[in-house]
Amino acid sequence: MKVEVDLEKCQDHGQCVYAAPGLFALNEQGRLSLRSRAAAVYVADVAEENAEELHEAADICPLQAITVHE
């Protein structure tokens, strides 16, 4: 599966980090750490074993910035 994060929607509040600490993190500036690797949209493969936390992160994101592609 793949995760897609719309970094223009994301406001770095970090709920996804609490829901899926294995997939998301905040950097020293308090911003979503994967920003350093993407311009506007971040896309990456996610292992099946991380499916549950990925779905939790997508559900909890208040900006609906996280999309899961099965």
Which residue ranges make up the site for ligand SF4 (CB under 6 A)?
Answer: 5, 10-16, 32, 61, 63, 65-66
- Min separation Cβ 52 and ligand SF4, Å: 16
Q: Which is nearer to ligand SF4, 32 or 54 (CB)?
A: 32
Q: Which is nearer to ligand SF4, 46 or 63 (CB)?
A: 63
Which H, E and C letters describe 16-65, residue by residue?
HHHHCCCCCCECCCCCEHHHHHCCCEEEEECCHHHHHHHHHHHHHCCCCC
3-state SS class at 12: coil
Q: Which is nearer to ligand SF4, 12 or 53 (CB)?
A: 12
